[in-house]
Structure 1
Amino acid sequence: MKLTRICAGLAVFLLVALLVPGRVIAQRVWVARYAHQADIRVYEVAYPYQADLKVYLLPYPSRAGDQPG
């Protein structure tokens, strides 16, 4: 009986994890005017592909012209 409850709980947990992958996989863009305004901690990485997310300082890179974001 206890094993059945554990298996049922695990199945529900896995089902919820499969139904809501967007929160983990979805790519989000965070824009902050100053570093202290960010709700996340920014760690330095050697290459952009090593980052789990990208944080741009204003203005957006597409609106900055030749100035990097």
Structure 2
Amino acid sequence: MNPKLLLEELDKRFSTQDNRFDNLERQFTTNANACTTYIQVLEKVVQVFDGWRPDIEGIVDDLK
């Protein structure tokens, strides 16, 4: 087997693997960012709900 052809084939395969890992890394980063954004939104919603809840409980108590 020709060493030059063997090296070219190995280089192609390593390049393919590098591309796969790059794609996985990008997907992981995208998913991590999406999760962080989702958690931040949930935290804001919880704060709004916690502020709203005592008012509603007071109104319900007044109705009783």
Please state which band the TM-score falls in when normalised by the shorter chain.
0.3 to 0.5
Report the structure, 1 or 2, having the larger helix content.
2
Of the two, which has the highest radius of gyration?
Answer: 2
What TM-score comes out, normalization by structure 1 length?
A: 0.34
- Could you tell me the TM-score, scaled by structure 2's length? 0.36
* Structure with more contact order per residue of length (Cα contacts < 8 Å, sep ≥ 6): 1
